[in-house]
Structure 1
Amino acid sequence: MATKEMRRTTLSEMKDRYIGQVGTPDRDSYEYELKMEVLGKMIKSARKERNMTQEQLGKLIGVQKSQISKLESSANSATIDTIMKVFKALKADINFHVKLEDDFVKLA
């Protein structure tokens, strides 16, 4: 009895096949959405570590509880200014890395 060897596929290969190659609009959109979801989860985690409610965090930065909830589920609609205010209120550091062609610019 001959056995077939299973071919393993990496996550990158799966994304290339089903979402699109890196640099295509569909793949860029997917990667952006994923990053915004992760950012939202980081905000929620930091808020909970500080034993803070969404309402308390909202009051600290001047927004409604519903905006904090929306931000935690996905940071898509948030401005950089709002994200910076949230992390400052949470006493958490945030760093941005911006790549301009072959050069990196770091914002802390």
Structure 2
Amino acid sequence: MATEKLKTYSLSEMKDKYVGKVGTKKRDDFEYELRMDLLGKMIKTARIERHLTQEELGKLIGVQKAQISKLESSANSATIDTVIKVFKALKAEINFNVKLEDDYVSIAL
């Protein structure tokens, strides 16, 4: 019985093929949406770990429950100020890494 060797592909190769190459608008949009989705999931996970309802978290930062729901389902409409307020209310540390050419700037809030 002959065994066939299957070709394997990396996630990056699959994204290049089906989403677009790095640097294209389609790929950039995809990566942005993915990051915003992950940010929303982090907010929800932290809120649940703190035993807070969406309404309670909203009251802590001065927004309605609906805004927290939108953040958790997709944070792409959130301002950075709102995201910082949410994580501070959740007593979570926030780290931003920014690459400026060959240098990294790291900010912890």
TM-score, normalised to structure 2's length?
0.94
Counterpart in the other structure of 1:88: 88
Deviation at 1:101, TM superposition (A): 1.5
Unaligned runs of 5+ in 1: none
* Cα distance per residue 1:6-25 (max 9 Å; x no partner): 11111111000011111111
CA distance in 2 between counterparts of 1:40 and 1:77 reads 11
Q: Secondary structure at the match of 1:71?
A: helix
Moved over 4 A (4+): none
Counterpart in the other structure of 1:28: 28
Q: Secondary structure at the match of 1:107?
A: strand
* Cα distance per residue 1:17-37 (max 9 Å; x no partner): 011111111111111110110
Say what the alpha-carbon RMSD is for the aligned residues.
Answer: 1.0
Matches within 5 A, 1:39-78: 39-78=39-78
Q: Which amino acid aligns with 2:71?
A: L
Q: Which amino acid aligns with 1:50?
A: R
Matches within 5 A, 1:94-105: 94-105=94-105
Q: Which amino acid aligns with 1:85?
A: K
Deviation at 1:3, TM superposition (A): 3.9
CA distance in 2 between counterparts of 1:79 and 1:12 reads 29
CA distance in 2 between counterparts of 1:8 and 1:59 reads 49
Count residues in correspondence: 108
